[in-house]
Amino acid sequence: MSSDKSVKHLQRIALALKIERSILAEEMAPCNFCLRSKRRCIAASASASRCSECIRHGRSSCDFQQKLPTMSDWASIDRQRKKLRDERKETMAKLMRLSKMEEALDEREQKMVELGVSTLEELDAKEAEERARTARLEQSAANLGEASPFLDDFILDPEALSGLPESFWNGMASAEPSSPGPPGFLTGTVGPGPDSSSFA
């Protein structure tokens, strides 16, 4: 290798290193040479004519086209993508709420037709009356449920009837001719009533 060629070769290497170490240098989408040699394609700027590798190897042409996105560029794209996804979720949630509101309005419209009312205010009043009536029925059922155990276990003590006059038993006998004496439903037993002589 002649001295001139050696000098030019060293100059190309020095220029390539200068470009690669420059803070203004930009990594480009690889040219064909860098792609084949699996090297980073770095140029002094996007308007440069050759990348550092093409300069280092004395290539007269370089076909890089554009710079690669930086980490900041990728982060910006990710932020925009996340923003779009969040907006899409919010829009879908809003559409779901609107759909449910529309269904509820359709149901109330149907109730208005069924109840024969012409305004939502009248429907609200009807529904309030229905809720109040339901509450009263539920309270009545609860009260009856509380009283049922007492009624089921109630048996009248026969001794409590010992002071009743004979006319009482005569009236009960006419009401239940087949059951002389105190009726079984009062005492919980079946048998003859007290001797009439006990009331003398």
Shared domain for 33 and 76, answered yes or no, is no
Look up residue 29 and give its two tokens: 């989408």
Q: What is the CB neighbour count within 10 angstroms for residue 166?
A: 13
Whether residue 123 sits in one domain with residue 97: no
Q: For every one of its 200 residues, what pLDDT tens digit does the chain have, with 9 covering 90 and above?
A: 567 778 888 888 998 899 888 888 888 888 999 989 999 889 888 888 899 999 999 998 898 877 777 777 778 888 999 999 999 999 999 999 999 999 998 998 888 888 888 888 888 888 888 888 888 888 888 887 766 665 555 555 666 666 667 776 666 666 555 544 444 444 444 445 455 444 44
Residues 106 and 121 in one domain: no
Count of structural domains, the chain: 4
- Identify the domain containing residue 47 by its residue range: 3-56
Same domain, 10 and 47: yes
Q: How many CA atoms lie within 13 A of 53 on its CB side?
A: 18
In a domain, 62, yes or no: no
- Domain co-membership, 122 together with 110: no
Largest CA distance in the chain: 159
Is the model's pTM score more than 0.85? Answer: no
Give a yes or no: residue 43 inside a domain.
yes
pLDDT at 28 (0 to 100):
85
pLDDT at 150: 55
Q: Is the same domain home to 165 and 184?
A: yes
112 and 74 inside one domain: yes
DSSP code per residue over 53-116: HHHHTT-S-----SBPPPHHHHHHHHHHHHHHHHHHHHHHHHHHHHHHHHHHHHHHHHHHHHHT
